[in-house]
Structure formats: structure tokens, C-alpha cells
Amino acid sequence: MQRTPLTEWHRAAGAKLVDFAGWEMPLSYSGVIDEHETVRRSAGLFDISHMGRIAVEGVGAEAFLQRVVTRNLARMADGSARYALACNEAGGVLDDVVVYRRTAQQFLVVVNASNRPKMLAWFQQQAAQSPQPAGKSGAGGAQIHDLSDAIAMIAVQGPKALGLLESMTKVQDGTRLTGMKRWTVKQAVINGAELLLATTGYTGEPGVELFVDAARATAIWEAVLTAGKPLGVKPIGLGARDTLRLEMGYSLYGHELDDTITPLEAGLDWAVDLEGKEFIGCKALRTQQAAGLSRRMTAFALPDRAVPRQGYRLMHEGQAVGVVTSGNVSPMLQRGIGLGFLPPNLSGLGRTIEVEIRSRTHTATIVPLPFYKGLEGGHA
């Protein structure tokens, strides 16, 4: 299995380590519920170095990304970030990514751990096939570099995260960390280490994601934990990361997204700019939009703590109409919640369906997202 620069720290701390997409990662330290509640009420640290970090640079960097992701990046200001999707020609999702724009010639793209080899190869292939800018040299004017091994990635998330980091952080141009808008990215220094700091995350709470030299990752991790100890800050594993994102209704690749599911079906219309730009898969998505959807990702909640696990059938009038893609008991709401694809006529808010749990059906109600409103939930 692959390991992050923090793996030995996790092992020494007594974390329960598991195989996640070929990476040895901490599932939990003090327990999923305790860690979940820590992030909602204080702050927690996540080792997310298993994610892929791909640099896209050069005179053709913006034009290249415009062609391979669904968002209109020409509207992005330098020093900002956007959630986007990369699609195949049929409109299926190859991956959901976050694009960080430093300048028009310097971007960083974060991809899912399970998709890192695929996306790196796909980016390189697409760059080689990109049109050559007039008078410029290089593959389409865009160069692709895998920075995943050189740079570690740490998330600090929770309502006390920014206040905790404020005294430790010197942000480029003197900006106060607590004054930075969501989806902003800047150079910063923490504990003497230069790093890239972004006000992004996957929990619905305020916080940052830090891109730091792999050799400095443990020192930064320990410094933040030490400073946060009086606030109850703790390390957080993948178990709580999953329940936190589920409460927000955030999609997870391999569950709500894959290369047979389109962004429109996944309810991510807002992350697809079908007007004003051409990108791989846009023709198929325009066709699907015009024809109408046959299924749509839908959120549902149960009245009790019954657990709607992935793969359980969704029923209506005795007929199977879908399956649960993600489900669990919400630690904050103390009830079962889940996501799944349903026919549009069954996905209206307030409608009821049944979830088949261990051969018994449980009534569930279609509800809006997020299930639980974090302090700063939502994508850019």
C-alpha cells in the first residue's frame, strides 16, 4: 500500500489504519462519532495527502483546462478556486476536481486518490492533443506535472479552525486569515514553512486546506495540533470525513459519481457551464438536458436511526426504483440519511419512498440538501 508523509505519525498515535484506494489511511483515532462532533463544534485535522495534486502550467494552461473541465475558468480571478468536473465524450464523470488558479499560466488541480493515475494519464494525453497556440512551443502550451509525492495536503476544518490558525499564519500581502473569503488561495507561512493555503474543504465548516512540502508535513501537523489542544482540536480519520460530507450532501466518486453518471444526473448542474464554452462531453450533456433526465440524485431521510447503507434498494409501491449510493446515521441529526438515484417523478421534495433494510422496508421522505447546515456549506 502507498503511504503519506504522515502515516508513521498516525500509527504512533494509535489510529485504526485501513486500505483506502490503495493507501494506508487512518479510519479513526478516538471514534467516528467523537471525531465528527469535534469538527462540527471545534476543529479537526485531516491528512488528505492521498489526494492527487496535478500542476497545469504554461501559456496554454487556461485554454487547456477550459477544454477538459466543466466550469468557465476565464471567470476566475487569480488566487481563487472552483469545484468542477472532468467528463468523457458521453458526458460521464471521469472525476470531480478542485481547480486552484494562481495565475492564467499556473493552475493546481486536486483529483481523487482513486483516480490519480487515470487523471494524470488523461491530462497528459489531452495536453498532447491540444491545439498549439500561435507562435508558442510545447504541447498545446500546457505542461502537466504530478506534484502528489512532493507536496502533502492537510485540512484544518471546523468553526474554530480559522481563529486557531490566525496567530500562527502569515498570509501573503498581509491579508488576515479570518478575513479571507471562501474559495480563496494564497501563499502563506506557518511555523516557518512556506505553503499554499486555500479556504476550501469537504465538511461544510470553515477551514483551510494546506499544500506543504512533504518533508515539512509532520512539523506543521504537530504544531497545529499542539496550538489547538486547549480548544479540543483532534486528528480526524476517513470515517468522520465521510459522515461529515454526507450530512452536507457532497458527492463522493464511486458512489454518486462515475464515468456512467453525468453531472446533470448527479444534481451538479450548477458546476456545468453549458453556455459560452466548449469542453469534452458538452455535446452529450446538452443533448441530455434537452431530452430530460431519466434519473436524478436525490436526498432522503428516515424518521429514526435505521441505517440505509450503500447498495440497499429504494422502493415505491413494491417495486425497486433505485439504490442507495451513500447512507448512514447523521451524528448531528440522529436519524438515517442517504443519497440515491430516483426517477424524476419520485424525487420531489416531501414525497415518500421506502428503503429496504435487512428485508424490511422503512419509510423515507425526500428532503432538500444539505441535511445539516454547516457554518459555510456549499461549493464555489
- Domain span(s) for CATH 2.40.30.110 in the chain: 294-368
The x, y and z cell numbers of residue 161, run together, are 479552525
The whole-model pTM stands at 0.94
For the domain made up of 7-51+150-246, the CATH class stated in words is alpha beta
Is residue 125's pLDDT more than 90?
yes
Is residue 377's pLDDT more than 90?
no
pLDDT confidence bin for 172, thresholds 50/70/90: confident
- What's the rounded Cα separation, in Å, for the pair 124 and 139? 9
| 12 contacts 35 by C-beta, under 8 angstroms | no
- Domain span(s) for CATH 3.30.1360.120 in the chain: 7-51+150-246
Q: What pLDDT score was predicted for residue 135?
A: 44
Is the omega angle on the peptide bond into residue 206 within 30 degrees of 0, that is, cis? no
Q: What pLDDT score was predicted for residue 134?
A: 47
Between the two ends of the chain, the Cα-to-Cα distance in Å is: 33
Tens-digit pLDDT profile for residues 85-110: 999 999 999 999 999 999 999 999 99
Q: What pLDDT score was predicted for residue 138?
A: 45
* Better pLDDT: 379 or 16: 16
pLDDT confidence bin for 131, thresholds 50/70/90: low
Q: Work out the mean pLDDT of the chain and round it to a whole number.
A: 95
Query: How does 54-72 read in b/e, with b if 16+ C-beta sit within 10 Å?
Result: bbbbbbbbbbbbbbbbbbb
Is residue 133's pLDDT more than 90?
no
Q: What pLDDT score was predicted for residue 147?
A: 98
Is residue 70's pLDDT more than 80?
yes
Tens-digit pLDDT profile for residues 286-342: 999 999 999 999 999 999 999 999 999 999 999 999 999 999 999 999 999 999 999
Q: What pLDDT score was predicted for residue 132?
A: 56
Is residue 136's pLDDT more than 50?
no
Percent of the chain at pLDDT exceeding 70: 96
- Domain span(s) for CATH 3.30.70.1400 in the chain: 52-146
Q: What pLDDT score was predicted for residue 173?
A: 85
Fold entry, domain 294-368: Elongation Factor Tu (Ef-tu); domain 3 (2.40.30)
Three-state DSSP at 289 gives helix
Residues linked to residue 332 through DSSP beta bridges, in sequence order: none
Q: What pLDDT score was predicted for residue 209?
A: 98
State how beta strands 360-366 and 319-330 pair.
Answer: unpaired
Q: What pLDDT score was predicted for residue 363?
A: 98
Range 248-264 average pLDDT: 98
CATH of domain 52-146: 3.30.70.1400
Residue 360 CA to chain centroid, in angstroms? 33
- What's the rounded Cα separation, in Å, for the pair 230 and 148? 32
Is residue 373's pLDDT more than 90?
no
> Residue 253: which of 2, 20, 3 has the closest Cα?
20
Cα-based distances in Å from 342 to 97, 200, 265: 25, 30, 10
Cα-based distances in Å from 282 to 289, 378, 380: 10, 24, 20
Q: What pLDDT score was predicted for residue 139?
A: 43
* Better pLDDT: 227 or 380: 227
Is residue 200's pLDDT more than 50?
yes
Q: What pLDDT score was predicted for residue 71?
A: 97
Q: What pLDDT score was predicted for residue 22?
A: 95
- What's the rounded Cα separation, in Å, for the pair 310 and 322? 11
